[in-house]
Amino acid sequence: MKNIIFLTILSLIFGIIIYDHNYSGVAYNPLFHKEGETSGSINAMPCGLGGSHNHKH
């Protein structure tokens, strides 16, 4: 029974993620380099500061 509840909750969370994907979509692919881009300056580390090359303090 515990497993069923656990997996149901997990399914709901996954469902919300898929809903968000359909709703928000990926208008562009900004978190990665653009294809053909060689400069590291637009890449970002997801530490929340806007990327390693964008640390202001």
Partner 1 sequence: MVAFKKVETTVALFGIIFTLLFSYITYSSIGLRHFLVFVIGIGLGFSLYKSSFGFTGGWRNFIENKDSSSLRAQLIMLGLAVIVFSFVIGSKSFIYDGKIIGAIAPISLSVVIGSFIFGWAMQLGGGCGSGTLFTAGGGNVKMVITLIFFIIGSTVGTYHFSFWSSVPSFGAISLLDNYSKSNVLILQLGLIFFIYYIVSYIDGKKNINFNHSNIFKFSSTNLIRGSWPLILGSVLLVFFSFLMLHAAGHPWSVTFSFGLWGAKIITLLGIDVSSWSYWQLSYPAIALENSLLADPTTLSNLGIILGALIASALSGNFSNQTDMNRKLFLAAMIGGFFMGYGARLAFGCNIGALFSGIASGSIHGWVWFLFAFIGSYFGVKSRKFFY
Ordered DSSP codes for 1-53: -HHHHHHHHHHHHHHHHHHHHHHH--SS-TTSPPTT---GGG---TTSSS-GG
# of chain residues touching partner 1 (CB under 8 A):
43
Subset of 10-49 contacting partner 1 (CB under 8 A)? 10-11, 14, 17-18, 20-21, 23-27, 29-33, 35-40, 43-49
**List of residues contacting partner 1 (CB under 8 A):** 2-3, 6-7, 9-11, 14, 17-18, 20-21, 23-27, 29-33, 35-40, 43-57
